[in-house]
Structure 1
Amino acid sequence: MIDWESNFITSTLINGNGIIKVILFLIIWGVVWLPIAFPLTRLINWHPATPISNSQKLTLIVSLYLIAPLLAWGVMSIDLHKISLTFSLSNFNCILWGYVIGIVTIIFTNLMTFAFGWAVWKKPSQFLMSVVKTLPLLLLVSLLIASVEELIFRGVFKDFLSQDYNIWLTAIISSAIFAVLHLIWERKNTIPQLPGLFLMGMVLFYCVYLLNGNLSMAIGIHGGWVVTLATLDTLDLYEYNTDANPWLWGCKERPLGSVAGMFILLLTLSIVQYFLA
């Protein structure tokens, strides 16, 4: 483990205000990742000034996120037991139930759009084979993304901020950071989703709060959302009618930038409140 205490500046930052700790963590994370990112951008043939495809974005995200657990433990001295990011049967069960909640809330909302005639189901040829080929990888990716984002935003940042702020101010700050940092990957479709991303962060923070800091349920719900949206998008299973209002029912590029997206979050909050509170 790296001893940052020997350096006066970094020691002051680590022992300073929670927001300063968050900024320091993000700077170190970015600096460590850049030597990996530059060769990768050439490998995937992407330039920062050009639009980024889903596969290019996924490659960069995976490379960035694989660093985070080592950074949290090795550089910032975060005890993973402290934020309940350890393997146990109870945590595994929580993750599974979280996936169920995440998947069901999105499917239920999409069924409503079909019922109102705003979306049309497009069953592809060889549907079952397409799901079998696609789902395992998407499940793995969703678990990675959800685990790392919960570790960072509802684990590490919560730990940093709660030392200086009350629990709800901590939730607001960490959720705002969570929303704003999504602008790094894409701006056009992210800006309309900022309120939804903020509310998403608050809902997931509330899950962690109800379980006394345990991240497992939040990881499951987050992963369930990711894998469901990714499956629907990758297999191109539906399309919106041309007269559908995107601000009401959403669109594939910005699922949280709509009333339907907010409904998914509020439905999840209601389920979590009912079973966990």
Structure 2
Amino acid sequence: MLNWQPPKPLQPEQKMPLLVSLYLLAPLILWGVSWLTNKSFSDYGFVGNLSTLGSLALGFGLGVVSLAVVFGGQFGLGWCSFEKTNFKLLLPILLPIFLIGLLVGGIEELVFRGFLFTELAQDYPVWVAAVISSLIFALLHLVWEQRETAPQLPGLWLMGIVLVLARFASSNNLGLAWGLHAGWIWAIATIDTAELITYTGKVSDLFTGKNKKPLAGLAGIFCVLGTGVIIWLFSRYF
């Protein structure tokens, strides 16, 4: 016992197979739970129809545009610059990251805004269920990268709240929240993978995001808050 040392952190090539396995396993577990409780995925807001597809597309577009506005603003203020030479890297990665965004966004929405929120709302007021489910959503991100994720916790929690709002705005359908979540994942992952953004250091990372993570800075918080306001103002149209 005196010679025991904590295991080394998982490397990226080790994390990906484990991550994919967990995400593929989650729907099967929820299916088993829904079968035991005599419920269906539609009770959790996951409905397979054209309305869901339309909401998914709308949410995806809103997520991408919201980030484009934020990064465009930072570019205009001189907080960051675009690496134009890396644009050639975009074409091969757009579709794979899009599919990953759809998978991750869909499963996380089914689990957190679908199953978890629905079950909590049966025992607590809606706002309490939203707060708790969003807190669990944020904290579980610590499983992978504690140091980089910790500064993002307030932003992740707020993101969860906005995604709950998206479910309500879409008449309890998860399509809008799914699309919004997938759009954010796709845009951020594409920017990171192609290394399209370089921060100039003109302002503190309190504004741009610690460790180059938008949700760890005021710009990312503004993006999520602004998206929430748009959803609230135009909820009757979703």
TM-score normalised by the chain length of structure 1 = 0.78
Structure 2: runs of 5 or more not aligned: 1-5
Q: What amino acid sits opposite 2:73 in the alignment?
A: M
Shift of 1:203: 0.3
Q: Is the 8 A contact 1:145 1:223 kept in 2?
A: yes
1:210 to 159, 169, 180: 169
Q: Is the 8 A contact 2:55 2:170 kept in 1?
A: no
Q: 1:61 to 1:265 in 2, by over 3 A?
A: same
Q: How far apart, CA to CA, are the structure 2 residues paired with 1:137 and 1:76?
A: 31
Higher RCO, Cα 8 Å, sep 6+: 2
TM-score normalised by the chain length of structure 2 = 0.90
What is the aligned partner in structure 2 of residue 177 from structure 1?
A: 136
Matches within 5 A, 1:98-177: 98-124=59-85, 127-128=87-88, 130-177=89-136
Shift of 1:251: 4.7
**Residues 4-39 of structure 1: per-residue CA shift (max 9 Å, x gap):** xxxxxxxxxxxxxxxxxxxxxxxxxxxxxxxxxxxx
Q: How far apart, CA to CA, are the structure 1 residues paired with 2:226 and 2:72?
A: 14
Q: Is the 8 A contact 1:240 1:251 kept in 2?
A: no
What is the aligned partner in structure 1 of residue 44 from structure 2?
A: 83
**Residues 54-109 of structure 1: per-residue CA shift (max 9 Å, x gap):** x5434322211111111101234341121231321111011001010000000110
Shift of 1:270: 1.6
Q: 1:120 to 1:48 in 2, by over 3 A?
A: farther
Runs (4 or more) in structure 1 with deviation over 6 Å come to none
Q: How far apart, CA to CA, are the structure 2 residues paired with 1:48 and 1:262?
A: 34
**Residues 242-276 of structure 1: per-residue CA shift (max 9 Å, x gap):** 34311111156422011001011011112211221
Q: What amino acid sits opposite 1:122 in the alignment?
A: E
Q: Is the 8 A contact 1:233 1:252 kept in 2?
A: no
Question: What is the aligned-residue identity percentage?
Answer: 38
Q: What amino acid sits opposite 2:30 in the alignment?
A: A
Structure 1: runs of 5 or more not aligned: 1-46
What is the aligned partner in structure 2 of residue 66 from structure 1?
A: 24
- Corresponding position: 1:225 with 2:184: yes
Q: 1:137 to 1:168 in 2, by over 3 A?
A: same
Counterpart of 1:106 in 2: which secondary structure? Answer: helix
Q: How far apart, CA to CA, are the structure 2 residues paired with 1:246 and 1:93?
A: 36
Counterpart of 2:213 in 1: which secondary structure? Answer: coil
Shift of 1:48: 5.3
Q: Is the 8 A contact 1:138 1:230 kept in 2?
A: yes
Alignment RMSD (CA, Å):
1.7
Q: How far apart, CA to CA, are the structure 2 residues paired with 1:253 and 1:151?
A: 28
Counterpart of 2:81 in 1: which secondary structure? Answer: strand
What is the aligned partner in structure 1 of residue 146 from structure 2?
A: 187
What is the aligned partner in structure 2 of residue 44 from structure 1?
A: none
Larger proportion of helix:
2
**Count of residues in Structure 1 that have an aligned counterpart in Structure 2:** 228
Q: 1:60 to 1:255 in 2, by over 3 A?
A: farther
